[in-house]
Amino acid sequence: MFINAMRGQSLALTKAIKSVQGVIGADAITGDYDIVASVEARDLNELRTTMAGVQAMEGILKTTTCMVLSDS
């Protein structure tokens, strides 16, 4: 999940995002996005719940979710 955050909030949000159920890692990055989070979900329902948890955080402007299709 790629995340855009409000200016100056990337580092604090990165720590907070790690506590959302389903998030297995998060890092502040440079470029078009501010944070990248790795999410693990058994199904789309679980993915939606994790996405909602991240999107509900104060300071999150936008998320872009990309699913990995390979199983390696």
Does residue 72 lie in a domain region?
A: no
State the average pLDDT over residues 3-9: 97
Structure confidence at residue 71 (pLDDT): 77
Does residue 30 lie in a domain region?
A: yes
State the average pLDDT over residues 7-15: 97
Q: How far apart are CA 18 and CA 59, in angstroms?
A: 15
Structure confidence at residue 16 (pLDDT): 98
Does residue 48 lie in a domain region?
A: yes
Query: What residues form DSSP beta bridges with 35?
Result: 3, 28
Does the structure show a pLDDT above 80 at 72? no
Quote the tokens at residue 56.
């509900």
Q: Domain limits at 38?
A: 2-64
Q: Look-up: residue for tokens 């994790």?
A: 50
Domain with residue 59: its CATH number is: 3.30.70.920
Does residue 70 lie in a domain region?
A: no
Confidence of residue 33 (pLDDT cuts 50, 70, 90): very high
What total number of domains does the chain contain?
1
Cα-Cα end-to-end distance for the chain? 19
pTM of the model: 0.91
State the average pLDDT over residues 26-51: 97
